[in-house]
Chain A
Amino acid sequence: MPRLFAIFALLFGAALPASAKDVHDTVSTFLLDNGMEVVVIEDHRAPAVVHMVWYRAGSSDEPRGSSGIAHFLEHLMFKGTTTREAGEFGRIVAANGGRDNAFTSFDYTGYFQRVAADRLGLMMEMEADRMVNLQLTPEDILTEREVIIEERNQRVENDPGALFREQRRAAQYLNHPYGVPIIGWRHEMEELDMDDAMAFYDRFYAPNNAILIVAGDVTADEVRVLAQEHYGPLPANPDLTPRMRADEPPQLAERRMVFEDPRVAQPYVMRTYLAPERDPGEQEKAAALTLLAEVLGGGQTSVLTRKLQFETQQAVYTSAFYSGTSLDDTNFGLIIVPSEGIDLPAAEAALDQAVAEFLDEGVDAAQLERIKFQLRAQQIYARDNADRLARRYGRALTAGLTVADVQAWPDILQAVTEEDILAAAREVFDRKNAVTGYLTGPSTPEVTQ
């Protein structure tokens, strides 16, 4: 497959959230007295572990006007504490042959280290330390703020596709903070300060707002002992309140946008709809949407690929994407990259026609069976990667789901029928909830020499 495919897969990440039934035997979960949730995934093939702490705090939990503070704090967590110098955390991990990093999203912030199994206690000791003892200097703030602005330059400002997706997301949400970029709006990032960082830290970084996930060559009992020793003594935050985000009002009007940038070489159309997410105990609709995305856009035999790339040849690339693991309403998206000579309105019309035909024709039974078999196979492949499994649990638990929900998910996916998929499609494809975006070069061609 040529590179274009890989590029888009990377950008839009419409991967199937697979799960692994056989893996369930290896997963244990318990709660510390201070409210810290613990998940242990055993994999004894190699004497390594990944140690992760996930906070139920992401960019969508930020105070209005301080966009980017969740991610900025994630960077600052690698500075000093009352017991350790700036950078010492990373130095100790490296000196033990480990790797560490962190990530921020809308619903969570996570920190991880991958080390030899016998270093787990040391990692816990250090992670517990920075959960409560962070100590920042004014220089940390000034220098690291430059770093996150360069990060924004690299990820967003230098990439018209990223700018387009940022604008698209802002248009998708009329009121909910999912419309604000994780990395922050540049003008607000420039103003972030020590008080913003420490306020977010004090509010959200506490054991009763954290999930510990350990995956690898370790038993649940060993983790319990170590976790009680290192995280057990930390006090819960008594002022922690349930996560309240502003709800979306009814969306009554489709939003349409054209983003022009001279750096765009290949125009395309992206349409997203507001879509329901997986809810605890109620994952059926999300499962149907997950399969809908696969049926429409999951690879070479999918409906959009067949109709638009193979049959009419109006597109060089098409995709459908949906990620149901989200605390609040998520998106279902469609993309068409038109063939040469097809303009964006014609491409959009072709996309709409293909979807309309699909709703008429229904789901190909053989395709659905192949998708379900692949999902079952993923339960085998998934066992090869304990890190990925750990992340799946982290994303789900910070999106309000339970371990039981994660473990029920594969069976719920298998139970989805053609009728479920078509019903979900009819419900989600409502243009009043949609943003339709064109990414294109300037309408007036630049004068060339």
Chain B
Amino acid sequence: MKAFLLTISLAVAALPAWAEIKIQEVTSPNGFEAWLVQEPSIPFVSLELRFRGGASLDAPGKRGATNLMVGLLEEGSGDLDARGFAEATEALAARFDYDVGDDAVAVSASFLTENRDEAVALLRESLVNPRFDEDAVERVRAQVLTGIRQDAKDPDTIVGAQFDALVFGDHPYGTAYEGTLDSVAGLTRDDLIAAHRGVMARDRVYIAAAGDISADELGALIDTLLSDLPETGLKQPADIAVETTAGVTVVPFDTPQSVAVFGHVGLERDHPDFFTAFVMNQALGGGGFEARLMNEVREKRGLTYGIYSYLVPKDHAHLLMGRVASANDRIAETIEVVSDEWRKMATEGVTEDELARVKTYLTGAYPLRFDGNGPIARILVGMQMDDLSPDYVVTRNAKVEAVTLEDVQRVATELLQPEALRFVVVGQPEGLEDTPSQ
């Protein structure tokens, strides 16, 4: 059966004249849907898969099972043990990467046109037939445990973990997906098999490809790769409402520079005001020296090397967060400046000039993201997970342009909540009072 095709041709209307990005919507003979940008000039393909749910699908008491399972996908499958699989991958010069997050398991692959079929067969075995051999399980488990021990003494990791625990409590988002020393030590081979069956299912996979492959070839490739996965898997977790109170949570840790994470509730990715919030945040703490936080904290006062704020639209919760690090005797001042800027933007919004600059930056920078097969495939798969349509690449900049000063003012007032802005600080901060969060 011929793959069903719907091609959307787009001339991205950006500030500079931009090339056509042709996104094809491919339906494979077995019914998988994928997006493709065919670009034949370099003889390889980048393929991106996402399995929605990721580590948040860990069974009760089995924290870390998905992470360990994913770490073992390339450690032996089908007829090959771990070394056999690695040798075969190297012999094809294929690149397979397996990653895990709160909301998805991500598989990124690049393979040459000249040996594509062999590479796909090998990748399929790792996705469909992982062996979970006992020696491999123990070897990778030891590596995961080492990582957990390191995280426990790394201020950057501690601060994120403490913030998550504070805002998400006993939701899966509230604990590290690597698990704890105890939970990982207790995982059995059966737990890994269950995690594999529950997470890597057909009903939750998203697929994108870019490079030297036709739609028909991609359809056949996907069927080979994924048809033997289970039809369905574990139920997605529940949503959780984020509630915070203003103040500082100090986590004592003997290190010269304090690391702070701050935030409160944000906006869903599909909220009608998300774009306005995105534009507002770019002016508040987005990348670059233009943003107010960077300007006030770094450029004017030299209090940090970098400070950023960002919207975090997860599948089951949404936050507006930020991150900064300052020496122990300066972090108190940094926090004061951040709180002031939060209040200021909540009351006054942004200036006309700021809005104009943010818009030119965002619209001009967008097409520059499509640089190479790997980045294009990653953008395409992310759009699908965000439930966007292929024509988003055309309409996106118009959405940015449509944001008005009044929109930003209104959203800033609603979204920025100085009375809920919670800081978690890891270090030996001077002059900071720990204020209980409830």
- Interface of A with B (CB < 8 Å)? 1-5, 7, 45-48, 78, 87, 90-91, 94-99, 114-119, 142-151, 153-154, 157-158, 262-266, 299-301, 306, 309-310, 313, 316-317, 337, 339-340, 366, 370-371, 373-374, 376-378, 380-381, 383-387
Q: Which residues of A contact B91 (CB under 8 A)?
A: 370, 373
Is the C-beta of B87 less than 8 angstroms from some C-beta in chain A? yes
A117 lies within 8 A of B90 (CB): no
Q: Which residues of A contact B16 (CB under 8 A)?
A: 47, 97, 116-119
CB of A372, distance to nearest CB on chain B (Å)? 10
Is the C-beta of B238 less than 8 angstroms from some C-beta in chain A? no
Q: Which residues of A contact B300 (CB under 8 A)?
A: 143
Q: How far is the CA of A262 from the CA of B87 in the complex (A)?
A: 39
Is the C-beta of B18 less than 8 angstroms from some C-beta in chain A? yes
Some 14 contacts from A to B, beta carbons below 8 A apart, are A1-B71, A2-B71, A46-B371, A114-B368, A143-B299, A147-B305, A150-B304, A158-B155, A262-B254, A263-B154, A370-B90, A373-B93, A380-B112, A385-B371
B361 lies within 8 A of A95 (CB): yes
A95 lies within 8 A of B146 (CB): no
B39 lies within 8 A of A265 (CB): no
CB of B122, distance to nearest CB on chain A (Å)? 14
Pick from B110, B139, B153, B301: contact of A381, CB under 8 Å: B110
Q: Given A78-B289, A300-B83, A340-B142, 8 more contacts at CB 8 Å? A: A87-B289, A90-B289, A97-B360, A115-B368, A116-B16, A147-B305, A154-B305, A154-B325
B42 lies within 8 A of A301 (CB): no
Q: How far is the CA of A366 from the CA of B87 in the complex (A)?
A: 9
Q: Which residues of B contact A117 (CB under 8 A)?
A: 16
Q: How far is the CA of A316 from the CA of B90 in the complex (A)?
A: 21
Cβ contacts B30-73/A at 8 Å (1 or 0 each): 00000000010111100000000000000000000001100100
Pick from B17, B151, B327, B365: contact of A99, CB under 8 Å: B365
CB of B178, distance to nearest CB on chain A (Å)? 7
Pick from B15, B74, B110: contact of A97, CB under 8 Å: B15
Q: Which of B135, B140, B305 has the most CB of A within 10 A?
A: B305
Is the C-beta of B252 less than 8 angstroms from some C-beta in chain A? no
A380 lies within 8 A of B146 (CB): no
CB closest chain-B residue, reference A46: B19
**Total A-B pairs in contact (CB under 8 Å)?**
202
Q: Which residues of A contact B41 (CB under 8 A)?
A: 45
Q: Which residues of B contact A376 (CB under 8 A)?
A: 93
CB of B294, distance to nearest CB on chain A (Å)? 10
Instruction: Known contacts A377-B112, A385-B372; decide if A301 and B87 are in contact (CB<8 Å).
Output: yes
B257 lies within 8 A of A313 (CB): no
Q: How far is the CA of A147 from the CA of B255 in the complex (A)?
A: 18
CB closest chain-A residue, reference B155: A158
Q: Which residues of A contact B82 (CB under 8 A)?
A: 300, 310
Q: How far is the CA of A225 from the CA of B86 in the complex (A)?
A: 49
A153 lies within 8 A of B325 (CB): yes
B305 lies within 8 A of A157 (CB): no
Is the C-beta of B197 less than 8 angstroms from some C-beta in chain A? no
Is the C-beta of B186 less than 8 angstroms from some C-beta in chain A? no
Is the C-beta of B78 less than 8 angstroms from some C-beta in chain A? no
Interface size class of B (residues with CB under 8 A): 35 or more
Pick from A1, A306, A339, A340: contact of B98, CB under 8 Å: A1
CB of B437, distance to nearest CB on chain A (Å)? 24
Pick from A7, A78, A94, A339: contact of B290, CB under 8 Å: A94
Is the C-beta of B374 less than 8 angstroms from some C-beta in chain A? yes
Is the C-beta of B363 less than 8 angstroms from some C-beta in chain A? yes
Is the C-beta of B249 less than 8 angstroms from some C-beta in chain A? no
Instruction: Known contacts A114-B368, A158-B257, A381-B110; decide if A96 and B146 are in contact (CB<8 Å).
Output: no
Cβ contacts B297-318/A at 8 Å (1 or 0 each): 0111111111000000000000
Q: Which residues of B contact A114 (CB under 8 A)?
A: 368
CB closest chain-A residue, reference B17: A47
Instruction: Known contacts A153-B256, A158-B257; decide if A97 and B363 are in contact (CB<8 Å).
Output: yes
Instruction: Known contacts A97-B14, A317-B143; decide if A265 and B43 are in contact (CB<8 Å).
Output: no
Q: How far is the CA of A46 from the CA of B361 in the complex (A)?
A: 18
Cβ contacts B357-398/A at 8 Å (1 or 0 each): 100110111111011111000000000000000000000000
Q: How far is the CA of A370 from the CA of B84 in the complex (A)?
A: 13
Q: Which residues of B contact A149 (CB under 8 A)?
A: 327
A158 lies within 8 A of B39 (CB): no
Pick from B43, B98, B257: contact of A380, CB under 8 Å: B43
Pick from A143, A264, A301, A310: contact of B90, CB under 8 Å: A301
A147 lies within 8 A of B83 (CB): no
B371 lies within 8 A of A48 (CB): yes
Q: Which residues of A contact B87 (CB under 8 A)?
A: 301, 366, 370
Is the C-beta of B144 less than 8 angstroms from some C-beta in chain A? yes
Q: Which residues of B contact A47 (CB under 8 A)?
A: 16-19
Q: Which of B86, B259, B363 has the most CB of A within 10 A?
A: B86
A1 lies within 8 A of B302 (CB): no
CB closest chain-A residue, reference B362: A97
Pick from A97, A144, A151: contact of B365, CB under 8 Å: A97
CB of A78, distance to nearest CB on chain B (Å)? 7
A147 lies within 8 A of B146 (CB): no
Q: Which residues of A contact B110 (CB under 8 A)?
A: 381
Is the C-beta of B147 less than 8 angstroms from some C-beta in chain A? yes
Q: Which residues of A contact B326 (CB under 8 A)?
A: 150
CB of B350, distance to nearest CB on chain A (Å)? 15
Q: Which residues of B contact A337 (CB under 8 A)?
A: 146
Q: Which residues of A contact B259 (CB under 8 A)?
A: 158
Q: How far is the CA of A337 from the CA of B146 in the complex (A)?
A: 9
B305 lies within 8 A of A150 (CB): yes
Is the C-beta of B189 less than 8 angstroms from some C-beta in chain A? no
A383 lies within 8 A of B42 (CB): yes
CB of A299, distance to nearest CB on chain B (Å)? 7
CB closest chain-B residue, reference A152: B305
Pick from A48, A153, A380: contact of B44, CB under 8 Å: A380
A157 lies within 8 A of B373 (CB): no
Is the C-beta of B152 less than 8 angstroms from some C-beta in chain A? yes
Q: Which of B14, B152, B364, B370 has the most CB of A within 10 A?
A: B364
Q: How far is the CA of A386 from the CA of B368 in the complex (A)?
A: 13
Q: How far is the CA of A46 from the CA of B371 in the complex (A)?
A: 7
CB closest chain-B residue, reference A89: B289
B290 lies within 8 A of A91 (CB): yes
A-B complex: 6 closest residue pairs judged by Cβ atoms? A97-B364, A146-B302, A116-B16, A377-B93, A300-B86, A153-B257
